[in-house]
Structure 1
């Protein structure tokens, strides 16, 4: 298969931008040869609609003795949420050496402890798949890195080395571990770049052979059914001494190239960038509608948490009003919780420092932990809050109370109402409490939110009179209801409404303008009244309660989806 002139010119332009004087036509030929190995899929299907709902899970978040974890996961999902969820994000399911999957040993194999490619394919029968391209680094136990140490074979030039005398003080990174790690190679001691940990060695994208390798891996995932590709830690990809090594122009250009290639092979594939950084930097990955199709709303989880802790929506409202208008080719990936902690950096410029400090302190009172990052000046500051979102909402700034379930459901309804595609972490769906026993075992703070449920125990909890059952069944109903509303299409118009600081209110208007839904959410433990403006006075039917409202007031933490139909 020869590439069309259009895609060839596009890729040539990208490669020239990234590699400048090191570019040669041979590079384009090699890239074209890799792309040509994969069949193109032609269709005109929309990338997303109001029925898209994502579940984020590890391959072994639910286990049963004697069963293959991916098969146990499939059984649970098919039985419980087949009608609610449309996309399953299986967090890295490859052989790994640390970081619960994000230190990949082999990018092309399934971890045999989870199952095999047939098990992944089986999940794809009822759900679209989302997969990680862990693009910034590889495991120190990988064949690539072993070849680097031997200085022979594939991988010998795949890793970044740096002189430890080099001034790297400007480099921005989310960890407090050493940036450079010494290792013994056949050519003597080398210092490799390790942004995240000594076991996660940064890949050298200034070597075009590596980029071509990653394109092949990406297309391999797409050929095996991946519909959404999550570019993990993409912001750190390109390194240039004397800079922050964050969001460099070459990084953005590589994202554009990966999108070009993915869309050429399958036009419905979605590129999602994972950039846990301040809001403005995060939004930059939309590019000029030519980069990521989707970006995480990293500011939403901590801002929503703050709003529910203080009963004050002012900062959440201000952020929501500032969000850019979307076109049909871009949208947001909305979530409140994931396998990582709740990011603190995405609050920069959105929440005053004293409010941030109080939020961090409150989370620690509720059993949460804090991970820190190193700053330019040698100090450390909070990078993320490690706590399950359910336990993060067991109280407010005034202490614990009896509204945990109601407050948590409010958080999920608000998240589902925002423009974009909603995503639920498995431990939000199951309202999992803090897993402190796990932290004691692993000595890693993030384990607090990475419990592995026993299948039978989880079934029993969800079938008994428990907070978990109440949350799970409520979310099942709410998701089913949401999927039927055209006004919740990811690109349906959004308007933030002013109803005072105790409430959060926004309107969603369907693309065909035939349906309007107004979310009104009470963020406090007191009853609150509200008034609808003239524009929305016909929105009087509450979809959640399935009845016309008789009075415009909300019980503590009550939400309404007020519709015209």
Structure 2
């Protein structure tokens, strides 16, 4: 195991690895600008005093009496001192409105900067398009400095403090966030906590033989420790490399690479790693980033003899990160990427007294929505919703149908067995269905990471193509086309009705189809996720105003679901539950706020169905609601 740093001390007067601000372990005065307003200093000191005891206790629980604590605290103070005045004003406003991200009018979109507009400056010129959709939240895919071409879609980062030159500059990012704030849109960026690119300056120093930087990673001379790890730790992507370690010829050492060989796992047992990474978070927050999607967070702490997933130390780090933000930049929130079963999720929110993430990606519901659409059976979906709705009130989700990634068929196998469904055969059916290889399938997609030995695979494709639009257009089948559009709208409407807020994948609002041209690019052909990572089609977007077009129908459908979410029953404190529709093809969801009750019913079958609803707490619901194939209705049941 890489050395544990509990009893080691780390004292430096300058820190090249924290970039942008050389942070001393001495006093704030050395790093604060001469214009640091005493009132602002007082605000910072009050926040820090409120959290100091807990923060220092958590830090020492991981790192003992390391002097790196002083470096970290000085970095926090310096970051607040250098925080722009308009962002400090946003901090104060959000402290008065801490649940701003839970409002019913929250509506998000995720996109790649280059695919949508080319670069950050050009994207800033497209904000009117985003405002048309009444977006309040924009998640830009990774845009920090990355190697080319091997960057895993930007998740191999070689500089956490600098925008990739192909996309712009740090000033371009700051200018964009300012324009987005003016438009009422909060910017979300990924922060890749688990690993760096093998071309990161720390990795380069490690490869050059510097033992200090080798200790930023997990490096071993022989296979003894790596073999112990591999005996307990399943690889995240089994097809990317043999085992969790890669031999580095320059270093003559094995280095931990749980994801890809060109992504080196960081050693958070080293307090220097924690401080450097947190300093980068604060630097990006000062450029105007308001939401951080912390990538692969369950994996960041490694412990021999465990599966290195969801360990207690992970939560210690996330809690310290949350405290740091509440002290330095309380306008900023954390969104966790936790691809785990519902029983694992609550821990990542922490408790009301000691919170961690503000919200999580709702991966399991994305998967179950697609499963219900392929089978016409909503039982697994409803069971998963019940588990999520039973989580504590502080648990909040970002709901989505598609994103930059694949659909991994991680369904609840125990629930499948309870319902008499064979988990393995069901998974095979689903990925072959969305590949378009199952008789009767209307979908056009591709497999991702198919493993012939285990029969495991994931699915790729845009929402419209997976819903059947592409196949119907190719075959000139008008009946199939109408059904495909209804499926697309059904999926978005159901997603938007659930607990949390919806996030579109850019292009879904205009029914963008698969980008098969990726197969002609030698740098992209090996990754089938590029099927749904294609340039935004602005010529198709222009058709959103032409009545009767696919683009217009979907655009207006998105407007309808935004209007739906303005109902008081979409308030942050609304009670949400599934309800028995007495029809396995129909999902029924009830929302209640005060005395007002709204029910949504969603037909996942290609046939007329009737939802039969029993009363709820003495409130009569519509007894019968007739639904067309792939139809939905939202009804106010009680005022």
TM-score by length of 1: 0.88
The superposition leaves residues 423-467 of structure 1 with CA deviations (integer Å, 9 ceiling, x where unpaired) of 111132232222222145212111011111243454357758542
Q: 2:61 aligns with which of 17, 23, 46?
A: 17
**Does the alignment pair 1:104 with 2:166?**
no
Give the distance between the partners of 2:317 and 2:98, measured in 1 at CA.
24
Query: Are the equivalent residues in 1 in contact too, given 2:48–2:327 (CA < 8 A)?
Result: no
Q: 2:381 aligns with which of 309, 316, 329?
A: 316
Q: 1:50 aligns with which of 100, 104, 117?
A: 104
The superposition leaves residues 265-312 of structure 1 with CA deviations (integer Å, 9 ceiling, x where unpaired) of 233422111022333234432233422221121111121111112211
Give the distance between the partners of 2:520 and 2:367, measured in 1 at CA.
25
**Does the alignment pair 1:249 with 2:312?**
yes
Q: Which runs of structure 2 are paired with 1:547-558 in the superposition (5 Å)?
A: 552-558=625-631
Residue in 2 aligned with 1:428? 508
Give the distance between the partners of 1:420 and 1:485, measured in 2 at CA.
14
Q: What is the CA-CA distance between 1:14 and the residue it aligns to?
A: 1.5
Give the distance between the partners of 2:116 and 2:484, measured in 1 at CA.
24
Residue in 2 aligned with 1:145? 203
Give the distance between the partners of 2:130 and 2:68, measured in 1 at CA.
48
Shift of the 5–334 alpha-carbon distance from structure 1 to 2, 3 Å rule, reads same
Instruction: Provide the secondary structure at the position in 1 that maps to 2:157.
Output: coil
The superposition leaves residues 184-208 of structure 1 with CA deviations (integer Å, 9 ceiling, x where unpaired) of 34xx401111111111111111110
Instruction: Provide the secondary structure at the position in 1 that maps to 2:293.
Output: strand
Shift of the 28–385 alpha-carbon distance from structure 1 to 2, 3 Å rule, reads same
Residue in 1 aligned with 2:235? 173
The superposition leaves residues 388-432 of structure 1 with CA deviations (integer Å, 9 ceiling, x where unpaired) of 22222229xxx9934111011111111100011211111322322
User: Which has the larger helix fraction?
Assistant: 2
**Does the alignment pair 1:384 with 2:458?**
yes
Residue in 1 aligned with 2:528? 445
Shift of the 75–445 alpha-carbon distance from structure 1 to 2, 3 Å rule, reads same
Which range moves more in the overlay, 280-289 or 172-181? 280-289
Query: Are the equivalent residues in 2 in contact too, given 1:54–1:89 (CA < 8 A)?
Result: yes
**Does the alignment pair 1:89 with 2:139?**
yes
Instruction: Provide the secondary structure at the position in 2 that maps to 1:238.
Output: coil
Residue in 1 aligned with 2:607? 526
Q: Which runs of structure 2 are paired with 1:152-551 in the superposition (5 Å)?
A: 152=210, 155-162=213-220, 163-165=222-224, 166-167=227-228, 168-176=230-238, 177-178=241-242, 179-185=244-250, 188-289=251-352, 290-325=355-390, 329-351=394-416, 352=421, 353=423, 354-365=425-436, 366-372=443-449, 379-382=453-456, 384-394=458-468, 401-402=480-481, 403-441=483-521, 442-443=524-525, 444-456=527-539, 458-460=541-543, 463=546, 466-479=549-562, 481-499=563-581, 500-510=583-593, 513-535=594-616
Query: Are the equivalent residues in 2 in contact too, given 1:410–1:559 (CA < 8 A)?
Result: yes
Q: What is the CA-CA distance between 1:69 and the residue it aligns to?
A: 2.5
Instruction: Provide the secondary structure at the position in 2 that maps to 1:181.
Output: strand
Q: What is the CA-CA distance between 1:25 and the residue it aligns to?
A: 5.2
Query: Are the equivalent residues in 2 in contact too, given 1:305–1:393 (CA < 8 A)?
Result: no
Q: What is the CA-CA distance between 1:326 and the residue it aligns to?
A: 5.4
> What runs of 5+ residues in structure 2 fail to find an aligned partner?
1-40, 81-87, 437-442, 470-474
Give the distance between the partners of 1:359 and 1:252, measured in 2 at CA.
34
**Does the alignment pair 1:562 with 2:606?**
no
Aligned CA RMSD, in angstroms, stands at 2.7
> What runs of 5+ residues in structure 1 fail to find an aligned partner?
541-548
Equivalent residue pairs, number: 538
Instruction: Provide the secondary structure at the position in 2 that maps to 1:524.
Output: coil
The superposition leaves residues 472-525 of structure 1 with CA deviations (integer Å, 9 ceiling, x where unpaired) of 23213322x034222113442102110021211111112xx1532211111112
**Structure with more contact order per residue of length (Cα contacts < 8 Å, sep ≥ 6):** 1
